[in-house]
Amino acid sequence: MTTQERLELTIHSTDSVRLGEQVRLAFMLSLPAILSNLTNIIMDYIDTAMVGSLGAHATASIGLVATSTWMLGGICSAMTSGFSVQVAHLFGARKKKEANDVMRQAFTAAFIFGCFLMVVGISISRQLPVWLGGNADIVEDASIYFLVFVCSLPLMVVYMLLVGMLRCSGDMKLPSILSVIICAFDVVFNFFFIFPTREISLLGVQFTCPGLGLGVLGAALGTCTAWHLGAFYLIYYMCRKSKALRLNFKGRLLPDNRVLSKALKIGSPIGLERIISSAAQITSTVIVAPLGTVAIAANTMGIIIESLCYMPGYGIGEAATTLIGQSVGAQRHDLIRRFALIALGLGVGIMSMLAIVMYITAPDIMSLMTPDIDVQQLTTRVLRIEAFAEPMFATSIICYGIFVGMGDTLIPSIMQLGSIWLVRIPFAALVATQWGLTGVWIAMAVELTVRGIVMLSRLIKKIKKDS
């Protein structure tokens, strides 16, 4: 029995399903999503390690615009969530034809939206690194990296949409396999794009390895090319091979008023939250930038390494969105409460264990990421501070995934924004001049703890109200 079939049987069963079976189902849905997110992080590790070997300036170039690329990615994710959550509800209600109609309309909307963001990104690519306070020696590379990224957005939005649709239908396997393949392509492309032609010794055999020597530009081209190959395959799969969801263009292409209204209701608060949260991250970058190249590089690497802890949480959050969304569509309030508690237990448990591993192994990881001793020591220090905030960070991530599955996105988005802008940013700005990057990360750890407490309180109240 496939995971999709097991999910449908659990959601629509008239008999009582054992707790162990529900935990197993939640884990089966979470595991592929966790692996998919971890693969994405491995891609970031690969890019950072390969570029990091070129020196702190190359790492800082990517780090300067990283928060801006995350903002655009968050906006795209919010846009696709507005449609994919509808698919989860329709699958839960066993309305698969309507789910296919939503996907077709969403595909057109996603591509147009991606083209719009690409035009906006191109128009600001030259000035963005200057606005962020980057030093003159990294501005050009940062601008080039951002330009390549935004040019890839139309296909990346489509990829994110189709992956979201598959996950909300209960298919977590294919997106995970694609993530691994994309990661492998990323390694290959980066290997040839970043470095120049050089002599390499492998198992005692000396040979000449060709390379383009593009540096930071090569990292951008390698990653985006890998994503595009994945997007082309996924479009082909959804048009020709997918069974549960099939992408065809016979019917209405643009979203009708009902579908668009629901997408805006679900996605707009998420999008607004992602924009303002990313604006806060950009503000943090502006706070960190004057601290110097070492601080920028350490901040970038710290965020990437910490993501090894929190990306499993996002994977479980995605599974929670599917479980809760289909339970809402089937009007199974008992399963909503049960799956919410199961997802929280999994997320907090896994992220807490990974936080302990990060605390212990941070120096060893950093020695592999960069040869710069100053960057190694500073990154290790901030990672060990952040490790203490991971359990409550997990709580906030899982709670938000549950709320998205419910279609309840406005209040949780406002709560996250309030936490970031009222706690993290003022605190970071206050202590940065005295404590440097360490102070910025202390502010982050405090804010994540506050956010987790607030989100958990709302979830408990909502579950009690609905029970």
Residues 339-345 have a mean pLDDT of 89
Q: When comparing pLDDT for 455 and 186, which is higher? A: 455
Q: When comparing pLDDT for 374 and 28, which is higher? A: 374
Query: Which pLDDT value is given to residue 155?
Result: 93
Q: Is 434 left (phi over 0), alpha (psi -120 to 50) or beta?
A: alpha
Instruction: Tell me which H or E stretch contains 208.
Output: strand 205-212
| Residue keyed to tokens 């190359």 | 58
Query: Which pLDDT value is given to residue 466?
Result: 65
Number of domains making up the chain: 1
**pLDDT tens per residue across span 163-200:** 888 887 777 788 888 888 888 888 889 888 888 887 77
Instruction: State whether the Cα torsion 218-122-161-33 is positive or negative.
Output: positive
394 CB-contact burial (10 Å; exposed 0-12 / middle 13-18 / buried 19+): buried
Is residue 1 over pLDDT 60? no
Please name the residue ranges forming H helices in 125-200: 128-131, 136-151, 153-168, 173-193
Range(s) of the domain holding residue 33:
3-466
Query: Which pLDDT value is given to residue 44?
Result: 63
Query: Which pLDDT value is given to residue 457?
Result: 93
**pLDDT tens per residue across span 346-362:** 899 999 999 999 999 99
**Cβ atoms of residues 351 and 395 within 8 Å:** no
Query: Which pLDDT value is given to residue 442?
Result: 94
Quote the distance between the C-alpha of residue 183 and its chain's center.
15
Q: Which residues pair with 209 in a beta bridge?
A: 198
**pLDDT tens per residue across span 427-442:** 998 988 889 899 999 9
24-33, 187-196, 214-223, range with the lowest pLDDT: 24-33
Q: Which of 32-36, 58-62, 254-258, 347-351 has the highest mean pLDDT?
A: 347-351
Is residue 8 over pLDDT 70? no
Residues 72-87 have a mean pLDDT of 85
How many other C-beta atoms are found inside a 10 Å radius of the C-beta of residue 264?
Answer: 14
Query: Which pLDDT value is given to residue 69?
Result: 84
**pLDDT tens per residue across span 301-326:** 888 788 778 888 888 888 888 888 88
Is residue 92 over pLDDT 80? no
**Cβ atoms of residues 219 and 194 within 8 Å:** yes
Is residue 67 over pLDDT 80? no
Is residue 208 over pLDDT 70? yes
**pLDDT tens per residue across span 377-413:** 999 999 999 999 999 999 999 999 899 888 888 888 8
157-161, 209-213, 387-391, range with the lowest pLDDT: 209-213
Percent of the chain with pLDDT over 70: 91
Is residue 3 over pLDDT 70? no
Query: Any idea what the Cα angle at residue 109 is, between residues 185 and 222, rounded to 5°?
Result: 15
**Cβ atoms of residues 108 and 249 within 8 Å:** no
Query: Which pLDDT value is given to residue 30?
Result: 74
pLDDT, averaged across the chain: 84
Is residue 14 over pLDDT 60? no
